[in-house]
A and B are shown apart, each in its own frame.
Chain A
Amino acid sequence: MEIKKTSLNKLHQDSQAKFVEFAGYEMPIQYSRGVIEEHKFTRSHAGIFDVSHMGQLFIYGNENLTSDLEKIFPLDLKNLQQNCSKYSFLMNEEAGIYDDLIITKLEDGYLIILNAACKEKDFEILSDILSKKYKMELSNDRALVAIQGPKAVEILNETINGVQNLTFMTGDWFDYNGQKLFVTRSGYTGEDGFEVSIPNDLAEEFTKSLIKKGAELIGLGARDTLRLEAGLCLYGHELDLNKTPVEANLKWAISKERLSNGGFVGSDKIINQIKEGAKQIRVGIKPEGRLIAREKTKIFNETELPIGEITSGTFGPSINGPIAMGYVDKEFSKIDTKILLEVRGKKHPANICKLPFYKKSYVKGVN
């Protein structure tokens, strides 16, 4: 199958990107500055991320659509205000996670941002459940550009006047060169920032205007270290069909209103797990010293019995040390529990620690 390219591919090439294949797309893993500098630049200034490979699914409909989507997502969508976003999951009956996503209520329906590797399958699953009652569009003609970091609001507001009035997890349509952009105040770096859904043919010029104002392109390498420092899950690593939102320690994303009556796919399992407790749970892990424990590293308790596995591990540039997330048996999930990580045949000390590793600075609204 031919590798797909986003509408910013030429700009990446011109910016000396190193490319990798990611979910069938040629994506920049880093630029000439390298992962650590890109990471730090995002935390101190503003980084631009091409996330056009992610799915932008528009579903059009009214109250009926809202009730139907409540049969799928563990959210109180009836009481969700227009232009407000929620983090959620597409699950199977066993509450295994097909994908994690952001859903935003629009005037005439919903916009759902899906992971690149999952978007086609998600589309099939959703159209099956919704039995083709609603118009669904998995957009091919829109790019998605994120700008993240303390300077993001100032830079983006110069290009799109008014975005500064958005609060965290809200969005709106804005005019730009005679076309409509949908901008949400959200992101996946632990920084304040925005995601901009923009027609493909405007994406390059728009991105260049952000660069001119002092933002810089950042690759997927730094996106991964940023999200891990922020304690955020990555599908295929922390989340998959064998994990539930309760096990992933994402109970907060399930609306309380939905837990009493259930009625969404996977609700029996979720309600039961919340009552009984999950066997394993996602935790933050800090290895001692400089040792990096990668995905699939085995975790042991102090008496060297196996208790879990690492799902993501790297060096955190803002922490200036190694960080990881993984799943451990519930009884070992308490903060400051001493554990051992087996790396290259030797067991090394580490501690369960609080998430996030890096404190966020979101601009919260009232919703």
Chain B
Amino acid sequence: MSEVKFSKEHEWIILEGDVATIGITQHATEMLGDIVFAELPEKGSNVEKDGTAGVVESTKAASDVYTPVSGEVVDINQAIVDDPAKINEDPEGTAWFFKLKMKDISELDSLMNKEEYDKFAKESSS
């Protein structure tokens, strides 16, 4: 398994073989507040790096979820659609959003590591 990488849109991504698992960060859930709705891409669809690949809504507002890399959606986490509160409980673990079969693994290179992301998140929220 690769190291976890992070995007400026507050997604995390981890690669296993050529399949990447993507979710939103703890920091993102703290900014959003209680999540009450999640919409995920369709299984089998193709998504493009930095394109929208879902929606999360808190009691206050809707936010797009972006994909930090391109690929084919091979799995989605139906459990978070059925019970969106799970996203607040374990955003960087069991509440992953979708899995992509990556086309170009080098797309990961431009993303941040944990240390860089933590710094970015701290700066962008202050």
Could you show 15 A-B contacts with beta carbons less than 8 Å apart?
A: A34-B33, A35-B34, A35-B58, A36-B34, A36-B85, A221-B33, A221-B60, A225-B59, A290-B36, A290-B81, A292-B37, A294-B61, A315-B36, A315-B37, A344-B55
Q: Which residues of B contact A317 (CB under 8 A)?
A: 59
B35-63 interface bits toward A, Cβ cutoff 8 Å, 1 = contact, 0 = none: 01101000000000000000101111110
Q: Which residues of A contact B60 (CB under 8 A)?
A: 29, 35, 221, 314
Q: Which residues of B contact A37 (CB under 8 A)?
A: 34
Assuming the A-B contacts A221-B59, A315-B59, are A322 and B34 also in contact, with contact meaning beta carbons closer than 8 angstroms in the complex? no
A323-367 interface bits toward B, Cβ cutoff 8 Å, 1 = contact, 0 = none: 000000000000000000000100000000000000000000000
- Answer whether residue A291 sits at the interface, using C-beta atoms and an 8 A cutoff: yes
- Answer whether residue A6 sits at the interface, using C-beta atoms and an 8 A cutoff: no
Residue of A nearest to B84 (CB): A290
Q: List A7-21 residues whose CB lies under 8 Å from chain B.
A: none
CB distance from A285 to the nearest CB of B (A): 16
Q: Which residues of A contact B37 (CB under 8 A)?
A: 290-292, 315, 322
CB distance from B40 to the nearest CB of A (A): 12
Q: Which residues of A contact B58 (CB under 8 A)?
A: 35
Q: Contact at A35–B33, with CB atoms within 8 Å?
A: yes
Q: Which residues of B contact A29 (CB under 8 A)?
A: 60
CB distance from A22 to the nearest CB of B (A): 12
Q: Contact at A36–B62, with CB atoms within 8 Å?
A: no
CA A290 – CA B88 in complex, angstroms? 17
Q: Contact at B33–A315, with CB atoms within 8 Å?
A: no
Q: Which residues of B contact A34 (CB under 8 A)?
A: 33-34, 88
Q: Which residues of B contact A344 (CB under 8 A)?
A: 39, 55
Q: List A265-324 residues whose CB lies under 8 Å from chain B.
A: 290-292, 294, 314-315, 317, 322
- Answer whether residue A30 sits at the interface, using C-beta atoms and an 8 A cutoff: yes
CB distance from A256 to the nearest CB of B (A): 38
Q: Contact at B55–A315, with CB atoms within 8 Å?
A: no
Q: Contact at A292–B62, with CB atoms within 8 Å?
A: yes
CA A255 – CA B41 in complex, angstroms? 53
Q: Contact at B36–A292, with CB atoms within 8 Å?
A: yes
CB distance from A340 to the nearest CB of B (A): 17
CA A221 – CA B82 in complex, angstroms? 23
Q: List B56-102 residues whose CB lies under 8 Å from chain A.
A: 57-62, 81, 84-85, 88
Known A-B contacts: A36-B85, A292-B36, A294-B62. Give 17 more (CB < 8 A): A29-B60, A34-B88, A35-B33, A35-B58, A35-B60, A36-B34, A36-B36, A37-B34, A290-B36, A292-B37, A292-B57, A292-B62, A314-B59, A314-B60, A315-B36, A315-B59, A344-B55
CB distance from A346 to the nearest CB of B (A): 10
Q: Which residues of A contact B85 (CB under 8 A)?
A: 36
Residue of A nearest to B34 (CB): A36
CA A315 – CA B59 in complex, angstroms? 6
A19-31 interface bits toward B, Cβ cutoff 8 Å, 1 = contact, 0 = none: 0000000000110
Residue of A nearest to B82 (CB): A290
CB distance from B104 to the nearest CB of A (A): 28
Q: Contact at B33–A30, with CB atoms within 8 Å?
A: yes
CA A180 – CA B57 in complex, angstroms? 44
Q: List A221-243 residues whose CB lies under 8 Å from chain B.
A: 221, 224-225
Closest 3 pairs (CB-CB, A-B): A315-B36, A36-B34, A35-B59
CA A344 – CA B57 in complex, angstroms? 13
- Residue from B33, B59, B62 whose CB has the most chain A CB atoms within 10 Å: B59
B104-125 interface bits toward A, Cβ cutoff 8 Å, 1 = contact, 0 = none: 0000000000000000000000
Q: Which residues of A contact B84 (CB under 8 A)?
A: 290
- Residue from A224, A292, A344 whose CB has the most chain B CB atoms within 10 Å: A292
CB distance from B90 to the nearest CB of A (A): 16
- Residue from B57, B61, B88 whose CB has the most chain A CB atoms within 10 Å: B57
Q: Which residues of B contact A294 (CB under 8 A)?
A: 61-62
CA A292 – CA B36 in complex, angstroms? 9
CA A292 – CA B33 in complex, angstroms? 16
CA A314 – CA B35 in complex, angstroms? 11
CB distance from A130 to the nearest CB of B (A): 39
Residue of B nearest to A34 (CB): B34
Q: List A112-171 residues whose CB lies under 8 Å from chain B.
A: none
Q: Which residues of B contact A225 (CB under 8 A)?
A: 59
